[in-house]
Amino acid sequence: MLLPNEIYEVLKIVRSHESWRRFECINLIASENTMSPLAKALYVTDMMHRYAEGRPGKRFYQGSRYIDAIELKVSELLSCLFNVRFIEPRAPSGTIANAIAFKALADAGDTAAVVSISSGAHISHTSRGILGALGIKQIELPFSTELWNIDVDQAMKIIEVARPKLIVLGASLYLFPHPTKQLAEAAHSIGARLVHDAAHVLGLIAGGIWTNPLHEGADVVTASTHKTFPGPQGGLVMTNDENVFKALSSHVLTFVSNHHIHRFPALAVTTIEMKYFGESYALQTIRNAKTFAEALVAEGIPVVAENMGYTKSHMVAIDVRRFGGGAKIAKILEEANIIANKNLLPWDRQEEAYNPSGVRFGVQEMTRFGMREKDFEEVAKLIADIIVRGRDPAEIRKKVIEFRKMFTKIYYGFDMPEEFNKSVEEFLNLGI
Ligand code: DSN
């Protein structure tokens, strides 16, 4: 076949990525996941070519009758799963979901209270990100490394004095649920609103293991749909307040123009999977994280939040200062095909982002590929071989590739009965 060389070059890059990350690595990035075969099959359809600015029934373009149907369907499925009145599914990322929420609830010159990036805030929560781009000022919520959480008493004092317009909870380093109830009460007592960014833990909420912050008093929850919630990359916003919803929705066009419609069928399928299998998946995820943390400690690697039991989420964070820092460790783990990211820890200064104290792991993706507690004990040994015992990463890489061969299949949903998987295969064989 005669094709321009450039085509083969592109193909080679894609194939190399696919065989490496999909089949040869232990993927432990806490913000990633893999869709089921059914969701993936429904991702690439004609919908990805279309424009449908506006809301169902009120579009700026013709030709959107089935786009309306899928947008309404996915909103309905998500509303039911999360038991909320209003869902805005059109944000193409969690950051844009935050932009929509902040813009709807605050004006330039207002103030938002947020933890620091080192204590877990996502960059979009801060003056370096969306908050700053919207001209909203940032004050810091105090974080206790004893509790590995927001210091509620101190936070309440700060809120009372500074009277911010917004309080932003939720985090990218998120080991224990933030105190939504207390801080929502504090926010409402001064007429402020609470936005909870549940991007990382949306799948744990869908599985009923973490409480939906909207049910604890948050005014708005933002999220992304591809971390512990194993759907296509994207964002969403939810609220129970109709006026807030109208304000949010009116800002989608500001930040998004056309939304990425082809996400919706895959998001709908993932939502259905989570309805039926989300609880067992979320439970296994948090069990794996806890076991992984304990196994790392047993191997001589310091895990943060020891006195709090290390984690109640999908994440585990290690403090690798004495091994040369997060940048060095994340890089040598990558040489062994163990993929994680360097991460600031609360005592780090923001300028240390290029070599922070920590490395962050997430167990959610490998849990979906079938890893259980004993498998994460093995992963902890492989990591310790490199970090503690100083073994050659190239030698460990061979072991990792062998180990990963046992975990390559994602089923329709986590822990599906075999007959269900067969039905999905038959369905997929029919083509779209
Ligand atoms: N930066 C992402 C994370 O890894 O947590 C969140 O968008």
Residue 387 pLDDT: 98
Residue-wise DSSP of 26-69: EE--TT-----HHHHHTTSSGGGG----EETTEESSS--HHHHH
Question: Does a structural domain hold residue 374?
Answer: no
Write phi, then psi, for 303 (nearest 5 degrees). Answer: -110, 140
Tell me what the mean pLDDT of segment 172-190 comes to: 98
pLDDT of res. 397 = 98
Q: How confident is the model at residue 390 (pLDDT cuts 50, 70, 90)?
A: very high
Q: Assign 350 a pLDDT band (cuts: 50, 70, 90).
A: confident
Whole-number Å distance, alpha carbon 172 to ligand 1 midpoint, is 6
Is 250 within a domain?
yes
**Do 271 and 136 touch, CB atoms closer than 8 A?**
no
Residue type, 186: A
Using the predicted structure, report yes or no on whether residue 411 has a pLDDT greater than 90: no
For 283, counting Cβ atoms within 10 Å of its Cβ (0-12 exposed, 13-18 middle, 19+ buried), the class is middle
Ligand 1 atom closest to the CA of 224, numbered from 1: 7
Residue 155 lies in a domain: yes
How far does Cα 112 stand from its chain's mean position? 22
Angstrom CA distances, 283 to 6, 194, 227, stand at 46, 27, 15
Residue nearest to atom 3 of ligand 1 (CA): 31
User: 46 lies in which domain range?
Assistant: 40-271
Alpha-carbon distance of 411 to 35, in angstroms, equals: 9
**Measured CA distances, 378 to 183, 298, 391 (Å):** 40, 12, 15
Q: 89 CB under 6 A from ligand 1?
A: no
Angle between helices 94-105 and 242-250 (to 10 degrees): 120
Average pLDDT for 351-366: 94
- Residue 425 is predicted with a pLDDT of 82
- Find out whether the beta carbon of 225 lies less than 6 Å from any atom of ligand 1: no
In a domain, 140, yes or no: yes
How far is it, in rounded angstroms, from Cα 309 to Cα 324? 25
The pLDDT mean for the chain works out to 96
Q: Is 31 in the pocket of ligand 1 (CB under 6 A)?
A: yes
190 within some domain? yes
- Percent of the chain past pLDDT 90, that is, above it, reads 92
Spatial neighbors of 195 by CB under 8 A, at least 6 apart, are 98, 101, 102, 105, 166, 167, 168, 169, 170, 218, 219, 220, 221, 222
Q: Which atom of ligand 1 is nearest to the CA of 32?
A: 4
For residue 348, the model assigns a pLDDT of 96
CB-based contact 249:88 (threshold 8 Å): yes
Pick from 172, 225, 315, 359 the residue to mutate for probing ligand 1's pocket: most ligand atoms within 8 Å of its CB.
Answer: 172
> What percent of the chain is modeled with pLDDT above 70?
99
Q: How confident is the model at residue 416 (pLDDT cuts 50, 70, 90)?
A: confident
**Token pair 């040369």 in the structure block, residue:** 324
* pLDDT at residue 429, rounded to an integer: 83
Q: Is 222 in the pocket of ligand 1 (CB under 6 A)?
A: no
The answer as to whether 346 is a domain residue is: no
Three-state DSSP at 140 gives strand
| Number of the ligand 1 atom closest to the C-alpha atom of 93 | 7
Domain count, the chain: 1
**Is residue 380 pLDDT above 90, yes or no?**
yes
State residue 96's pLDDT score: 98
| pLDDT bracket for residue 12 (50, 70, 90) | very high
In a domain, 73, yes or no: yes
Q: Note the pLDDT of residue 421.
A: 78
**339 pLDDT above the threshold of 80:** yes
pLDDT band at 419 (very low <50, low <70, confident <90, very high): confident
- In a domain, residue 404? The reply is no
**Domain holding 260: CATH number?**
3.40.640.10
pLDDT tier for residue 383 given thresholds of 50, 70 and 90: very high
Question: Is the pLDDT at 328 greater than 90, yes or no?
Answer: yes
Ligand 1 centroid–CA 371 distance in Å is: 23
The CA-based angle 95-37-278, given to 5 degrees, is 65
Nearest protein Cα to ligand 1, atom 5: 172
Average pLDDT over residues 87-99: 98
Tell me the pLDDT tens digit for each residue of 50-66: 999 999 999 999 999 99
pLDDT in tens, 246-259: 999 999 999 998 99
